[in-house]
Amino acid sequence: MRFDEGYSGKVFIMSRPTHEEADAIIYGMPMDWTVSFRPGSRFGPNRIREASLGLEEYSPYMDKHLEEVNYFDAGDIPLPFGNPQRSLDMIQDYVEKILEQNKFPLGLGGEHLVTWPIIQAVYKKYSDLAMIHIDAHADLREEYEGEALSHSTPVRKICELIGPENVFSFGIRSGMRAEFQYAVNSGMYMAKYDVVEPLREVLPRLAGRPVYVTIDIDVLDPAYAPGTGTAEAGGITSKELLEAIQKIAESDLNVVGADLVEVAPVYDPTEKTPIAASKFVREMLLGWVK
C-alpha cells in the first residue's frame, strides 16, 4: 500500500516504514487539472516532503517530537492526468480505506477540489461532521465556466452535503458577490480576512465534535507563500497560521482528518512556500493526531 510509481520514493521525515503500524497516513494528491489560473500544485506534495528534511523533528510550539506520532507517508496516489472524475473517485476510495482502518488521513494537495471526495469519505463515517476551512478564497461557486468539478466549487458542494451550518470558513478575502451572499444566507460561518481571533470564538462551539480541517496555503499572504496558483494579496502571516494550528490542537475538538493544499512550488524560486508548508504539516501531525 505504498504508491511507488511516478515520484520514486521521497517521504516526509520520520515516516514509519509500513502502513500497518501507523496511526496516521500522509498521502499526496498530485492533481491540478481543473485549475483556472496557474497549474503546478501537482508537485506540491513532493516538495513538501523534500523541504521536511530541513525541519527539526521536535516542535517547541507543541513541546512534542515526531517520534511520538506513528505516521506513514504513502506517497502520491497515481491520479490519471486530465481526468478529474476518475481522480476524485480514486481519492475517495483511498480515504475510505484509511478510515476503515481507523487511521488519520493527512492529505497533501494538489488543487483544492481534492477536499470534495475526502469529505464524502469522511462524512460516511461521521454523520455529525463539521469542517474548518482556512483559505483566501470562498470556493463557494456552483460551477466555474460550465464545469461543476472545479477548484472553485468544493466548499459549496460540501455545504450541500454536510449542511452549511457545519462549515466554518476563516481568512476569506476573495470571491464573487454571490459567494459572499451565500455565506450570509445559508447559515454557514465565514470570518473574513482573519483566522486566529475568529477561531478563538468558534472552537468552544465545536467541542467534542468530529471535525475535518482543510488549509489552503493561499490563506497566507503571497509574501509568505508565493508558491501557489492563485496568490491573493492581503493575507495572514506564517506566525498566525502556526498559532491557528496550535489553537485547534489545544481545543476540545476531535480532529478526524486534515489536508494542506495548493502548494505550487514552481512560482516560488526561494522555496519558502514548501519550507513553511512542511512546518505546518509537522505541527498538524504533532497537534492533531491523537
What is the closest distance, in whole angstroms, from the C-beta atom of residue 115 to its own copies in the complex?
A: 16
The residue with cell 516538495 is 47
Letters for 87-106 (x = contact with its own copies by CB under 8 A, - = none) are --------------------
Integer Cα distance of 51 and 22 in angstroms: 22
- Is residue 3 near its own copies by the rule CB under 8 A? no
Nearer to its own copies, 236 or 258 (CB): 236
Q: Nearest-CA neighbor of 186 among 203, 210, 161, 208? A: 161
Nearer to its own copies, 13 or 202 (CB): 13
Cis, peptide link before residue 82, omega less than 30° from 0: no
Of the candidate residues 193, 202, 209, 247, the single one contacting its own copies (CB under 8 A): 193
Q: Is 137 annotated as a binding residue?
A: yes
Integer Cα distance of 277 and 44 in angstroms: 9
Nearer to its own copies, 162 or 258 (CB): 258
* 124-163: contacts with its own copies (CB under 8 A): 144-147, 149-150
Grid coordinates belonging to 148: 461543476
What is the closest distance, in whole angstroms, from the C-beta atom of residue 56 to its own copies in the complex?
A: 5
- Is residue 115 near its own copies by the rule CB under 8 A? no
Q: Is 151 annotated as a binding residue?
A: no
What sign does the CA torsion over 237, 240, 245, 248 have? negative
- Is residue 40 near its own copies by the rule CB under 8 A? yes
What is the closest distance, in whole angstroms, from the C-beta atom of residue 253 to its own copies in the complex?
A: 22
* 206-245: contacts with its own copies (CB under 8 A): 221-224, 226-227, 230-235, 237-239, 242
Task: Mark the segment that binds its own copies (CB under 8 A) among 92-100, 160-168, 175-183, 206-214.
Answer: 175-183
Report the DSSP beta bridge partners of residue 147.
144
Nearer to its own copies, 246 or 254 (CB): 246
- Is residue 171 near its own copies by the rule CB under 8 A? no
The site that binds its own copies (CB under 8 A) totals a number of residues, namely 77
Nearer to its own copies, 157 or 279 (CB): 279
Nearer to its own copies, 163 or 194 (CB): 194
Annotated binding-site members for Mn(2+):
112, 135, 137, 139, 216, 218
